[in-house]
Structure 1
Amino acid sequence: MEKTPRSIERYDISHIQGYGTIASSSMLLDGFPVPRYYRWIRIESANVRTGHSDDFASLAEAIIRRFGLNERQGREEKGENCSYSSIPSSPLPDVVLIDGGRGQLAAVMAAIRNSTDPGRCEEILKRVTFLSLAKQREEVYVPDNPRPLHFEGGIFSAAMLLLRKCRDEAHAFAVYHHRSLRSSEYLRSVFDAIPGIERKTRKKLIEKFGSIEALGTAEEGDIAAVEGVDELQASAIIEHFQKRNLSE
């Protein structure tokens, strides 16, 4: 690079056995986190579905959506929609750091080069440096080079410490979001199993008891006292948690 980079944007993929796959990005500016530019991207690709995750495809999708590109090669031939939903824009970073090794970086670069907007592609490749950081050996790769970069001082060099800081920040953000997502999905699954509980009533129940766990240990009379809940629904809620406890 001709000058020292100021901004680094890092991408991480997380999922649970292919379920709820998301890409998260975080940014460091002059070595400090900038939370207003943090993003999480729910992956839309048909290649990423419950029980079947493809980190290469997920990273490629996240990058082309981040930079306002549409992937062309391969998807048109399969008759797939070549457009993804957009995500909020932010300034172009000096560096994009991909979670993974040569394969993940190659997938991202291929997606950019195969985009339907050559002008935008050229601008991005000219202004942004793409790197990948492999976890196992803490190796850094650049596009079209099979060998990792060597830093004087190794993994304890200033450059490596900065890249690792960026990686850890993105990973922590991804873990936080996934915990929130799992909690939301769990809450929805519990209420979906109990007929007649409307969205407004669900919200009032959680506001009253604080959590789904507290609701599961509440008395039937306390549940029925919540606005929008009748005695039959309160009884159904109690019965649901009793059955769940017996099955665990």
Structure 2
Amino acid sequence: MKSFEQGKQIIKNTIQFLPNGPGVYKMLDDKKVIIYVGKAKNLPNRINSYISSSYLPIRTERMISNTKNLEFISTQNEAEALLLEANLIKKNQPRYNILLKDDKSFPYIQLTKSHKFPQLTKFRGKQNKNDIFFGPFASSGAAGWAIKTLQKVFLLRVCDDSIFHNRKRPCILYQIKRCSAPCTNEISEEDYNKLVMDSISFLNGKSALIQKKLSKEMEVESKKFNYEKAATIRDRIKALTQIQSSQQINKNNFNNADLIVLFQKNNITCIEVFFYRSKQNWGNQAFFPKHDKDDDIDDIFYSFLIQFYENKIPPEEIILSEKIKDLALIKAALEKKYNKKINIKTAQNNNETLSIKLAIKNAQLALDKKLLENKNNDHFLSLINKEFDLGFNPTLIEVYDNSHIQGLNAVGSFVVFGKNGFIKRKYRKFNIAKTNINPGDDYGMLKEVLSRRFAKIKSNNDDEIPDLIIIDGGKGHYNVARKILDELGYFNLNMIAIAKSERRNQGDETFYHNKKEIKINNNVLLFFLQRLRDEAHRFAIFSHRAKRKNTFTQSALDNIEGIGKTRKKMLLNHFGSVKLIESASIEDMKKINGISDFVASKIYNFFNKNNLVSKK
């Protein structure tokens, strides 16, 4: 109670410094960590409500008790405050805010109009003004599938510029009629751009027009006895019909809209988002925002919307299953941010009502699946407790693994598992120092990773301490890890090592715990532990490959003064490899637009300096 009164006093002392008007306030704990972010139409009035209200929810009382400082940012209007609040919440993930977990950028289809033969590719991230983007798609798989089908219909290239500029003959995609092979001039620039325009028309919802056009072309070619060409067009029509069917293109679909519904059960909320673009259903995604059991549906939906669209361009229309507070404010904020008209509403006709009902059914199924997974996870965690005699059901597990090739590009990493499954935002990777460890020294790598990980926890208290760690390795790995943890003071931290055997595919793993060698006969538990180990292994390999790829993209060109990213890309696109650049003449380099006589001479002299010295 004393800390609650202290928190109220800190808030009271701050009110006198607050400007009248809209803004954002941040509550910080004793470690200067932001624990809550809020916005206000009038800062003093909103902050005063925390100390003048006769009743506060228990969660709010806990928040005030933990508040040791209060900071504020004044804004020009409430809409600006709303956008800033969403940005700060997503960036800092405050403990007492409603949080949109596992949010990510959705994939788009990109047409690189900046190239004379545009490439069809999948894209995430910040969009540029030169290219054309279609989306979002609900998943990477959905976008990838759409690209493959578009290849069949419009024969657009998917290869990157480097491969495109160095082809001497068509690749297999041309042979199986998935590409028109502009790389080797199998199609003219004019005809290729007709295919590009047709694909744009299709993605903009003009599928019937494209199908009619292709039918006429097939008929013309048949009359000319060009049966092979007519058959190719026929295959394209079939592919077009397939994508129309799978994407559920029909007159009842929404033109450009996001359909967003909410379903709640057992104090867990599922929010399902359906994406419609150009009357095409581009999939749906379920979200499970983190919130307190006392938060009402109105607050949850409101917080979700502004956080969801904080980094995603909204369509012209957003249709909701619930009417929530301050829709006009959200609308004004999004219109200001994205400079476009947006209509946010609830269902207003039979088609919209029916679509909302179907979407809610999907949300219910997704939530039921989530609850079943959580129940299974609780069961798995209790099995670990029973098998290894931990004395408690673990709630946070970290699983460690290393990856390297003969000591090169060594990476250590860990994945995290909790009651709700794998927590991917807590995954971490560590680049292993070359100087301290001999190549291929697994014990040395494990020692470095654990030392860095737990030394950081001990010094900063930034992360939650796991109650169980699992090591991918045998008795030696267990002993090394145990020694490190003991040296850092984590004597009571439980640890398990999983040792593979030659018959590991038959479930013959050996487990080490508290100096005991254990064989597990429970197949359910064995499968679960293998799944944890395999996820750690997958993430370690992924991190290693990313590092190795980054190493490969570095080249001798990086050592030439005046050769930046743009010129490096131009040279590699033209020649295809550093090796070919090394053997190129000055005249060959000068043929590239943007490479002057001086730059060409500098590159040539760099690669041929040994020859020049020997000639002298």
TM-score (norm 2): 0.29
User: Do the aligned partners of 1:99 and 1:133 also contact (CA within 8 Å) in 2?
Assistant: yes
Residues 125 and 171 (structure 1 numbering): CA distance in 2 closer, same or farther, change over 3 Å?
Answer: same
Query: 1:133 and 2:498 equivalent?
Result: yes
Q: Between 60-69 and 100-109, report the one with greater CA deviation.
A: 60-69
Q: Distance in 2 between matches of 1:212 and 1:96?
A: 50
CA distance in 1, matches of 2:430, 2:574: 27
**Conservation of the 8 A alpha-carbon contact between 1:133 and 1:141:** yes
Equivalence for 2:428 = 39
Shift of 1:89: 4.3
Task: Say whether the 8 Å CA contact 1:12–1:24 is kept in structure 2.
Answer: yes
Following the alignment from structure 2 to structure 1, what is the Cα–Cα distance between the partners of residues 452 and 398? 14
Equivalent residues of 2:471, 2:495 under 8 A apart: yes
Structure 2 residue 538 is the aligned partner of structure 1 residue 151: no
After superposition, give the CA deviation of every residue in 1:37-88 in whole Å (9 maximum; x if it has no partner).
1111122374414xx3311121122112111179xxxxxxxxxxxxxxx999
Matched, 1:61 2:430: no
Q: Is the 8 A contact 2:473 2:498 kept in 1?
A: yes
Superimposed CA distance per residue, residues 153-211 of structure 1 (whole angstroms, 9 cap, x where no aligned partner): 2xxx222222211111111111112112112112223424x62244xx225644x6897
Relative to structure 1, the CA distance from residue 26 to residue 204 in structure 2 (aligned partners, 3 Å threshold; closer, same or farther) is farther
Contact 2:590 2:596 in 1 (8 A): no
Residue number in structure 1 paired with 2:565:
202
Pairing 1:191–2:548 present: no
Could you tell me how far apart the structure 2 residues matched to 1:161 and 1:109 are?
Answer: 25
Query: 1:21·1:43 contact (CA, 8 Å) conserved in 2?
Result: yes
Distance 1:62 1:143, change over 3 A: farther
Q: Counterparts of 2:574 and 2:406 in 1: how far apart (Å)?
A: 24
The aligned residue for residue 530 of structure 2 is 164
Secondary structure of 2:554 counterpart: helix
TM-score (normalised: structure 1)? 0.67
Separation of aligned partners in 1, 2:554 and 2:461:
27
Aligned counterparts of 2:500 and 2:485: Cα–Cα separation in 1: 24
SS of residue in 2 equivalent to 1:8? strand
- For residue 68 of structure 1, give the secondary structure of its aligned residue in structure 2: helix
Distance in 2 of aligned mates of 1:143 and 1:212:
60
1:139–1:213 Cα change, 3 Å: farther
Counterparts of 1:81-100 in structure 2, within 5 Å, are 89-100=462-473
- TM-superposed deviation, 1:101: 0.5
For the pair shown, which has the larger CA radius of gyration, 1 or 2?
2
1:106 and 1:143 in contact (8 A); partners too: no
The 3 A distance-change label for structure 1 pair 32 and 102 is same
Change (3 A) 1:202 1:10: same
Count of residues in correspondence between the two structures: 202
> Does the C-alpha gap of structure 1 residues 45 and 106 become closer, same or farther in structure 2, counting only changes over 3 Å?
farther
CA contact (8 A) 2:399 2:472 kept: yes
**1:73-129 CA distance string (max 9 Å, x none):** xxxxxxxxxxxxx999431122111110110010111122234xxxxx1xx332x31
Would you say the 8 A contact 1:15–1:22 is kept in 2? yes
Task: Give 1:150 shift.
Answer: 3.0
Name the CA distance, whole Å, in 1 between partners of 2:434 and 2:460.
Answer: 15
Q: 1:233 to 1:210 in 2, by over 3 A?
A: closer
User: Cα offset for 1:234?
Assistant: 4.8
Contact (CA 8 Å) 2:414, 2:427: kept in 1 or not?
Answer: yes
Equivalent position amino acid for 1:25 in 2 = F
Distance 1:144-1:53 versus aligned 2 partners, 3 A rule: same
Contact 2:396/2:467 (CA < 8 Å) preserved in 1? Answer: yes
- Per the alignment, residue 76 of structure 1 pairs with none
Change (3 A) 1:90 1:187: same
Question: Are residues 100 and 220 of structure 1, via their aligned partners in 2, closer, same or farther at CA, if it must alter by over 3 Å?
Answer: same
Identity %: 25
Q: 1:23 and 2:412 equivalent?
A: yes
Q: What is residue 487 of structure 2 aligned with on the other side? A: 114
Segments of structure 2 that go 5 or more residues without pairing to the other structure are 1-389, 502-507, 582-587, 608-616
Work out the CA distance in 1 between the residues paired with 2:519 and 2:442: 26
Match for 1:150: what amino acid?
Answer: K
**Cross-structure match for 1:182:** 548
Q: Which has the higher contact order (CA 8 A, sep 6+)?
A: 1
What letter corresponds to residue 68 of structure 1 in structure 2? A
TM-fit CA distance, 1:215? 6.1
CA distance 1:185–1:58, shift in 2 (3 Å):
same
CA contact (8 A) 2:557 2:568 kept: no
Residues in 2 aligned to 1:11 and 1:61: alpha-carbon distance in whole angstroms? 12
Q: CA 1:144–1:69 in structure 2 vs 1: closer, same or farther (change >3 Å)?
A: farther
Q: Secondary structure in 2 aligned to 1:62? A: helix
| Unmatched runs of 5 consecutive residues or more in structure 1 | 71-85, 116-120, 241-248
Relative distance call for 1:60 and 1:3 in structure 2 (3 A) is: same
Conserved? CA contact 2:509–2:519, under 8 Å: no
Q: Deviations over 1:204-242 (max 9, x none)?
A: 644x689798566898467x435xx534545738x96xx
